[in-house]
Structure 1
Amino acid sequence: MLENYNQVWNTQSKNSSESMPLGGGDIGANVWVEKGDLYFYFSRSGTFDEHNTLLKLGRVKMSLSPNPFKDNEGFKQELVLKDGFITVSQNGSTVKLWVDVFNPVIHVDVNSKVPTEMKVSYESWRYKNRDSKGKANNANSYKWAPQGDIITYKDSISFENNAIQFYHRNRANTVFDVTVKQQKMESVKDQMLNPIANLTFGGQLFGNNLKANGTYNGIYQDTDFKGFVLSTIRAAKKHQFQIQLHTNQSADATLWNKELKNQISSYKKIENKTEKKTINWWNNFWNRSFIYTQKSKTEKDSIYQIGQNYQLFRYMLGCNAYGKYPTKFNGGLFTVDPVHTNKELNFTPDFRNWGGGTMTAQNQRLVYHPMVKAGDFDMMPSQLDYYLSLQKNAELRSEVYWKHGGASFTEQLENFGLPNPAEYEWKRPADYDPGMEYNAWLEYEWDTVFEFCKMMLQQKEFAGADIQKYNPFIISCLRFFDEHYQYLAKQRGRKALDGNGHLVLFPGSAVETYKMANNANSTISALKVITEQFLVLSENELSKEDLEYLKGFQTRIPPLNFREFDGHKTLAPAKTWERINNTEVPQLYPVYPWGIYGIGKPDLQTAVNTWKYDTDALKFRSHVGWKQDNIFAARLGLTDEAAKYNLLKMANADRRFPTFWGPGFDWVPDHNWGGSGMIGMQEMVLQTNGDAIYLFPAWPAHWDVHFKLHAPKNTTVEVQLEKGKVTLLKVFPKEREKDIVNLLGKSLTEKENLK
């Protein structure tokens, strides 16, 4: 079935926007053939410059002579999903591109029937310093508020013994230093994690039969560049070259070069085994989980497309399985020249909207949530351990600003744990709380971290992982809300709690939408569910003091809020709020992600009423970008609505590669668009409630599907549905079969009345 979804192109591409993604480990490349030449951009997780732009590492151009790719006659470019590589073939020549999953190496292998000569060029637009002006700064942490002139500094590029070496080393002063000063954190600066100081990243391109052959200048898609050429010493039927990448952070500037040389020589000893190991990794990845929809005679079939695109987007996530940093919501490792997203943005290929080292938590969570049911637990530390590394900096914020405990994480978070400096705002009232973002969208929004706490807990709930390293982090996040809202209450009056002994979560925020909120339902749900699940899953690992603290904290969490529309009881966004600023639907967060309401749970009708009658929920409904209506509908058991919004969400993108969605609210490819689409499809076919495993809670009976997904207690469920009948059911371990409840074709009333 997976082979059905291989992408096969029989014509060359017009430009980089018609590229195909390739990757592995923590490397991504965009591969295309244009006017007879093969090109690829390549990127790596964590390559942040002084201003926190996520820099690409360069572009490669490869030409063969005689050229087998002169025209489209017999041309074929194929992404082979099962084994994770791309081939380009024509006229008896085949080029194979693959990335080593376990070592930072890109391989290109050429086989021809007749001897050919090869030219390989490394093309760099960072051969010189470049001014970053206007909207170009949206790619870095300064965004619309640069402090002085912003320069993207040039890389060091040179020929080294018939190889091309390239690297970027960050200058001494970075956006970290600027932000620490702006946000009045200088008293603790020496205690803070600084991930971009002394960062060096780059690599070396080389091959056996290659020699240095000069440089040239050119322009590609509005951006001037310099090319460094290697050409073959003699014509041959086989050629190969590779790019070895290396990143380090050291005060010793010479160390990077020494480490790269050692890496290259060590790799030679294991190189003949690496391709097989990489193929095995991809094979295991695909066996772990999947959702295949019905076979189709035409790829325009919308039900075929959602199955195809589920696989293709999961493949893109697999390309950064082991990155030091999370897969970015705004393009991941696969952005290309920005003019193809917005013709007015004629900037370099390093551009993406919403920053490079800035992690927008609401968007990032949607990239990582689908990995739980997909069983991709080995891919989640990139995101979860990223938060762990920032705990100290977030706790220092609470200590410096408010003299209380707990980790204070804001929305629009830099990779060093402080708010983005532009969103924090430079022009602030003199007496404004320095711990706060002076920003209409982001003020008082600091509860998204709990969705990452939830994913930490799910590592144990689903896979039985030891999660003790996350325990202090989760407690610290809960403690912040407890201590900060008591602190704020005492600023206003004599009592820290309300008349019922509950926290007064004011001012708060129901995501970015309902502002200056009192007791936002999204925050209350997060506090309730995280505390409850934490106590269930980690009780034996917690100290007596921590247990007592958490049980006491539970009593201080306020209850959820409700309102009515036309006599129908619904979930409210909050107890009260002052204004609406965005278009999210936090009144349905108790349904997803928090799961307080749903199939088989009490009072499902109230949540369904919220979907049906809440005028804001109706007004904001959409499938674009990070919108979650496809997920809400599935969680509520609304089969027709779930089908509608998931078909819209997971339909082919406007670009040549079907999962290069966007820009939506963000950038291309829009990874939170893809992540929310994956979640929606998972929730349509499989949900759990306690020990019960619900099959097809919101899946149309006439859509054929074959899926394998993960459930709590180390459980996998594989099911095939053909012509409305379950023809295969495999549950592992077998004793979990008794927990299966098939909801195919059941009415909403029947789903409500499940016990």
Structure 2
Amino acid sequence: MRKYILLVVFIGLFLSLKAQNKSISDYNVVWNSQSKNSSESMPCGGGDIGLNVWVENGDVLFYLSRSGTFDENNTFLKLGRVRLQLSSNPFNTSDFKQELHLEEGFVSISSGKTKLKIWVDVFRPVVHLDLQSDKAITLKTSFESWRNEDHLITDAKELRANSYKVKQKFEVKTFKDNIDFQGNNILFYHRNRSDVENVFDYTVKMEGMNSVKDQLYNPIKNNTFGGIITGKNLKVAGNTFGKYADTDFKAWSLESIKASRSQQIDIALHVAQTETFEEWQKGLNNILIEAVNHKKEAFQQTITWWKNFWNRSYIYIEGKDSTVSRNYQLFRYQLACNAYGRWPTKFNGGLFTFDPAHVDKIYPFSVDFRLWGGGTMTAQNQRLVYFPMFKNGDFDMLKPQFDFYLRSLKNAELRSKVYWNHAGACFTEQIENFGLPNIFEYGLKRPEGYDAGMEYNAWLEYQWETVFEFCLMMLETERYEGRDISEYVPFIESCLTFYDEHYQQLAKKRGAKTFDEQGQYIFYPSSAAESYKMTYNSTTVISALKVILSRVIELPEKYIDSTSKEKWTMMLKRIPPIPLQEIDGHKTLAPAQTWARIQNSEAPQLYPVYPWGLYGLGKSNLETAINTYRLDPHVQQYRTHIGWRQHSIFAARLGLKEEAQELTREKFKDANHRFPTFWGPAFDWTPDHNWGGSAMIGLQEMLMQVDDKKIYLLPAWPKDWNAQFKLHAPYNTTIEGIVKNGKIQKLTVLPVSRKSDVVVMEQ
């Protein structure tokens, strides 16, 4: 009997340890059947390359995407589609298996003893295909392009993929790529034409910025992108034509010279703005040479990077809600595929869009299509993609988003100078990758005498404050990882300068006094997100300025001198208080002091809770924020998990455990498509990256919240979620632990000195 009891205890202990030692590989996605079409594809990538990989009718296919492939119309083009066909057709068998290996970052496809590994070098822009078989087989690899000829866009809906958005008085074309055999290789590229007016030229002209055009940053001019497909034992197999989904294509094919049991194919990709094509081609050749010279160590370097990436942070939930943490890791993988891109991960699909008719049948266009444009960056959406990277410790992945703003800074400052003759950077909500408002959102049918610097747009008018969330991120990198933020401080100060000078100017135009009777700014007209319009003293504006000014003033002397500190201290004193209102006899946050209309369905009255952290747990004003969440009819009317909605974040920040759990479960449910985190389209597109980002933030906030040096654990964590976790906190701190039945069972805080700052809010 004693031996039996000991055996039971040993088994129980073993199972407990096994449950606690979960690894990222437990979340690998495995498919045992082929896919019907590209909507059933699997993401694969690294560095700044994304592939949609699937097997259809025995053929292996994948789309090629890379950061920065913006054409003349600012459409974010796919590079092409690759098809692999094997002579023995080995994948049409019952033991078919396709697997995403998260820990190593690659996709494998196998059947019997035939195995194909598809992986992307994290440090070099090269895609690798490694095929092994027990029998000698031949293969045919094809590069398929739907841009083999110019495409005149005639359907108005298709224009929504680029920056024009609607029909123009002139023709809008997607110009053809250059594709041909080069020896026994396939060379393909798109070089933006200089003999046509592109969307940058048109935008600058129509927005009245021609006088400074030669000073403006222009990412469209001479942008060239493409690549080369190469491999040993390959010869040219000619051209074929076909149709995939709704789009005709032309294929350039290579085939095996002789049957072999192993075959490697490499695809080098290059994106650059060069004065000549020859310069671009030289860059591509250098990438290929580099890849060949480092092929042996490249795979090990890539595996090491992915393993280190997964070790940075994790949240593993046991039991019936393990889908939440599984999809948390899968979405984080999608974000990591653009870790080192020159351009930010787009909220509307990132690198992993697929044929649009599989998202919505009303869009029977090529795979280049996505709603909300290719080079247009929407701040309210982009922020949700990047905020979760802090607690994940993915600080290196923030650089593309920050660099986007740094490159656009001069353009935004020139807007202020040209339109209003004052200093400071004016960033609107929907801006192009060159920092000017999207031309459609700017509005071309404008009343006579309307301010040329303003967007004539019911949703976006006076919405300039969203840039401050990225200022906050820049400041947070200094606090979280101790990064030197010298390059970001002038940017932040320029954004503050705009508000200081612009609203003083507006007040002087409208009355005899610059400030109100309390000596404070008059933020009119302003906007509370896209929802509350023509506001007086918007809550989002006031919250942003209070936090950013306070944080700038706190910076060490190496970042700002005493004169600047004095200036920002005075500005902070002039910021009015956050507006409040009363609902059913309870004090609540108001979206503004007054407003003219409601235009959208956000909840800006809760932005003082998130992202600005002025109200919430550990603060005396918590009840006011909870009243706002519970009682404000606009907040409740649009309470949902769909898309960019952030009610799960608000609930977590306010310690509302049951609501946070319910909304987070819904957020992290499997998508309607085969890959679990290809959510959408919701309000945007599929895969919906701001859906995933907002879901991640909500889960993180349920588990850990930070307030400067204070770290709150389990502030909204449900008792029935047993989990392992590792997250990052400010001041180079990591928090790693095990929670069971609402109690912390094991906790490691590094550095140890930070343990005294941890407050465990157990059940």
The offset of 1:494, in angstroms, is 1.4
The offset of 1:723, in angstroms, is 3.4
Name 2:10's counterpart in structure 1: none
AA in 2 matched with 1:177? D
Counterparts of 1:472 and 1:200 in 2: how far apart (Å)? 31
In the TM superposition, what are the counterparts of 1:594-633 in structure 2 within 5 Å?
594-633=612-651
Q: Does 1:264 align with 2:288?
A: yes
Counterparts of 1:242 and 1:136 in 2: how far apart (Å)? 33
Name 2:652's counterpart in structure 1: 634
The counterpart of 1:7, out of the listed 11, 29, 45, is: 29
Name 1:87's counterpart in structure 2: 108
Name 1:476's counterpart in structure 2: 494
Name 1:119's counterpart in structure 2: 140
Name 2:704's counterpart in structure 1: 686
In the TM superposition, what are the counterparts of 1:416-495 in structure 2 within 5 Å?
416-495=434-513
The offset of 1:235, in angstroms, is 0.4
Q: Does 1:166 align with 2:184?
A: no
> 1:551 aligns to what SS in structure 2?
helix
In the TM superposition, what are the counterparts of 1:303-452 in structure 2 within 5 Å?
303-452=321-470
Counterparts of 1:620 and 1:481 in 2: how far apart (Å)? 30
AA in 1 matched with 2:56? E
Q: Does 1:675 align with 2:693?
A: yes
Contact kept, 8 Å, 1:461 with 1:537, in 2: the verdict is no
- List runs of 5+ in structure 1 lacking aligned partners: 746-755
Cα gap change, 1:711 to 1:109, in 2 (>3 Å): same
The offset of 1:147, in angstroms, is 4.3
Name 2:95's counterpart in structure 1: 74
Counterparts of 1:715 and 1:542 in 2: how far apart (Å)? 26
The counterpart of 2:42, out of the listed 17, 20, 31, is: 20
AA in 2 matched with 1:697? P
The offset of 1:107, in angstroms, is 0.4
Name 1:750's counterpart in structure 2: none
Counterparts of 1:188 and 1:495 in 2: how far apart (Å)? 33
> 2:118 aligns to what SS in structure 1?
strand
In the TM superposition, what are the counterparts of 1:96-111 in structure 2 within 5 Å?
96-111=117-132
AA in 2 matched with 1:459? T
Name 2:209's counterpart in structure 1: 185
Contact kept, 8 Å, 1:460 with 1:537, in 2: the verdict is no
Contact kept, 8 Å, 2:80 with 2:144, in 1: the verdict is yes
Name 2:3's counterpart in structure 1: none
Counterparts of 2:207 and 2:563 in 1: how far apart (Å)? 33
Contact kept, 8 Å, 1:590 with 1:597, in 2: the verdict is yes
Counterparts of 2:448 and 2:708 in 1: how far apart (Å)? 51
Q: Does 1:62 align with 2:80?
A: no
Contact kept, 8 Å, 2:743 with 2:762, in 1: the verdict is no
AA in 2 matched with 1:369? F
Which deviations, in whole Å up to 9, do the C-alpha atoms of 1:690-730 show, x marking residues without a partner? 32211100010111111100001100001111233322211
AA in 2 matched with 1:728? K
Q: Does 1:245 align with 2:245?
A: no
Cα gap change, 1:258 to 1:690, in 2 (>3 Å): closer
Counterparts of 1:190 and 1:597 in 2: how far apart (Å)? 45
Name 1:213's counterpart in structure 2: 237
Name 2:8's counterpart in structure 1: none
> 1:532 aligns to what SS in structure 2?
helix
The offset of 1:276, in angstroms, is 0.5
Q: Does 1:194 align with 2:218?
A: yes
Counterparts of 1:513 and 1:265 in 2: how far apart (Å)? 53
> 2:454 aligns to what SS in structure 1?
coil
AA in 2 matched with 1:505? F
Counterparts of 1:125 and 1:324 in 2: how far apart (Å)? 26
The offset of 1:209, in angstroms, is 1.0
TM-score calculated relative to the size of structure 1: 0.97
The counterpart of 2:252, out of the listed 188, 204, 228, is: 228
> 2:353 aligns to what SS in structure 1?
coil
Contact kept, 8 Å, 1:68 with 1:92, in 2: the verdict is no
The offset of 1:576, in angstroms, is 0.2
Name 1:34's counterpart in structure 2: 56
Which deviations, in whole Å up to 9, do the C-alpha atoms of 1:100-123 show, x marking residues without a partner? 000000000000011110000000
Which deviations, in whole Å up to 9, do the C-alpha atoms of 1:373-399 show, x marking residues without a partner? 111000001001110111100000000
The counterpart of 1:644, out of the listed 650, 662, 665, is: 662
Name 2:610's counterpart in structure 1: 592
Counterparts of 1:21 and 1:157 in 2: how far apart (Å)? 25
Counterparts of 2:69 and 2:559 in 1: how far apart (Å)? 37
> 1:397 aligns to what SS in structure 2?
helix
Counterparts of 2:96 and 2:291 in 1: how far apart (Å)? 34
Contact kept, 8 Å, 2:717 with 2:742, in 1: the verdict is no
AA in 2 matched with 1:183? E
Segments ≥4 residues shifted beyond 4 Å: none
The counterpart of 2:747, out of the listed 720, 729, 749, is: 729
> 1:188 aligns to what SS in structure 2?
helix
Counterparts of 1:594 and 1:511 in 2: how far apart (Å)? 14
The counterpart of 1:497, out of the listed 499, 502, 515, is: 515
- List runs of 5+ in structure 2 lacking aligned partners: 1-21
The offset of 1:539, in angstroms, is 4.1
AA in 1 matched with 2:49? I
Contact kept, 8 Å, 1:122 with 1:229, in 2: the verdict is yes
The counterpart of 2:528, out of the listed 498, 503, 510, is: 510
Name 1:577's counterpart in structure 2: 595
Counterparts of 1:265 and 1:322 in 2: how far apart (Å)? 20
Counterparts of 2:547 and 2:591 in 1: how far apart (Å)? 17
Which deviations, in whole Å up to 9, do the C-alpha atoms of 1:438-458 show, x marking residues without a partner? 000000001000000000001
The offset of 1:552, in angstroms, is 1.3
AA in 1 matched with 2:86? L
> 1:179 aligns to what SS in structure 2?
helix
Q: Which deviates the most, 542-551 or 674-683? A: 542-551
Percent identity, aligned pairs only, is 56
